[in-house]
Amino acid sequence: MARQFALLFVRRLRVPVVLTDIDQTRLDEAVAYIHKEISGLQTKGRIASDEASRLQALVTGTTDKSAFADADWIIEAVFEELAIKQEVFGEFEKIVSPSAVMATNTSSLSVAAIGATLKHPGRLVGFHFFNPVAVMPLVEVVRASSTTDETLATAMKVAAGLRKTAVITSDTTGFVVNRLLAKLLGEAMHAVDTGTHPSVVDGACAPFGLPMPPFVLLDLVGLKVGAHVLDTHHAAFPDRFFDSPNLHKLADYGKIITRNSKGNPSGFDQGALAILRGGQSPMTADEFRRRIEDGLADEIHRMLDEGVVHKPEDIDLCMIMGAGWPFQMGGITPYLDRVGASQRVFGDTFHHPPIRGVAN
């Protein structure tokens, strides 16, 4: 993902971009990828040859961390392990200037926990992109309790320079988009754990209009990554997010979806289905859909009470731009109002009056 960041930063901000890794070969491959992408823009006539040369010259890679001594902005894209992220930032804090902002692309870890070992945690901010970076317009800017106003303002200005829509969130597990997607995926796995066939789950989610059903999404992000994210949410909210033994079995197996020659989903992998061990209480599609609608309404209501964001429209914006929720529905909260989930869960609606949306 770091190479996607580098390409975006050099294209939008026209600033020197330095990548680093512990392996020079990976660095060389990343720089070559970025140079190739820039050359592709020139070939398509989107930039002139002299501009392509200038952009390529701005991108370098080195294993020598001292090259970052005069950096204004550091962003990491290492694996979602707290200790690894703490180690990376601890190393860079010794090198960069006191005014440099340090940003983490964590998708679910606590920004405060990542910065807990820093001498100056005020300059650490969450800056969560969505994949693919060039396409998805959202950045969740995460303010930890120690993040200074100056750091937050810098992050918002950088997001604007990158032509991204930034939403400020509090420092809570999963922030907005991943917390709600984890709720959806966790409920999907819980349904399987209780005996519901995955095809019933995927079919039940069709009315949401998301770009892909739950198990195709799990397969796309990677089953090991999905298991890690759901484990993180279960640890944070054990009363509402499930631990799924079946998901860990699928992660070890490696896949759940089969794909055709064009790479498009074509069904469920029979080997994956064979290793699933379900209970004796399968749900119908209608039962599951109502359960997940109520679960999402409850989670969003809690998020607003917690102050994760200020208003329902912030959550709608995040889900439209970060998860592909259909904009013609008006957002996830108007949808939950329309289907009655809000009323069932907390006896009110998110919007007054409710928003009908184009679909109605």
Last residue of a domain, one of 170, 202, 231: 170
- C-alpha 357/C-alpha 334 separation (Å) is 8
pLDDT digits over 217-276, tens only?
Answer: 999 889 998 999 999 999 999 999 999 999 999 999 999 999 999 989 999 999 999 999
pLDDT computed for residue 311 by the predictor:
97
Higher pLDDT pick, 330 / 152: 152
For the chain, how many structural domains are there in total? 2
Q: Do residues 254 and 334 both lie within one domain? A: yes
Q: Do residues 126 and 211 both lie within one domain? A: no
What share of the chain in percent tops pLDDT 70?
Answer: 99
Q: Do residues 10 and 131 both lie within one domain? A: yes
pLDDT computed for residue 205 by the predictor:
95
CATH of the domain at 144: 3.40.50.720
Q: For 94-114, what is the mean pLDDT? A: 95
Q: For 7-21, what is the mean pLDDT? A: 97
Whether the bond between 282 and the residue before it is cis, its omega within 30 degrees of 0, is: no
Q: Do residues 148 and 232 both lie within one domain? A: no
Last residue of a domain, one of 170, 186, 216: 170
Q: Do residues 106 and 182 both lie within one domain? A: no
pLDDT computed for residue 284 by the predictor:
97
pLDDT computed for residue 360 by the predictor:
45
CB-count exposure of residue 328 (10 Å: 0-12, 13-18, 19+): exposed
Average per-residue pLDDT in the chain? 95
Q: Do residues 335 and 358 both lie within one domain? A: yes
CATH of the domain at 322: 1.10.1040.50
Q: Do residues 250 and 215 both lie within one domain? A: yes
Q: Do residues 288 and 303 both lie within one domain? A: yes
Q: Do residues 71 and 193 both lie within one domain? A: no
Q: Please report how the helices 2-13 and 24-43 are oriented relative to each other, as an axis angle in degrees rounded to 10.
A: 40
Q: Do residues 157 and 206 both lie within one domain? A: no
Q: Do residues 194 and 47 both lie within one domain? A: no
Q: For 45-65, what is the mean pLDDT? A: 96
Tell me if 136 sits within 8 A of 163, measured CB to CB.
no
Q: Which of 359, 343, 354 is nearest to 312 (CA)?
A: 354
Q: Please report how the helices 285-306 and 312-323 are oriented relative to each other, as an axis angle in degrees rounded to 10.
A: 120
Domain that holds residue 238: 175-360
pLDDT of residue 359 exceeding 80, the answer is no
Tell me if 256 sits within 8 A of 198, measured CB to CB.
yes
What share of the chain in percent tops pLDDT 90?
Answer: 91
pLDDT computed for residue 358 by the predictor:
64
pLDDT of residue 6 exceeding 60, the answer is yes
pLDDT computed for residue 150 by the predictor:
98
pLDDT of residue 206 exceeding 80, the answer is yes
Q: Do residues 103 and 216 both lie within one domain? A: no
Last residue of a domain, one of 135, 170, 205: 170
Given pLDDT bands bounded at 50, 70 and 90, which one contains residue 104? very high
pLDDT computed for residue 1 by the predictor:
86
pLDDT of residue 293 exceeding 80, the answer is yes
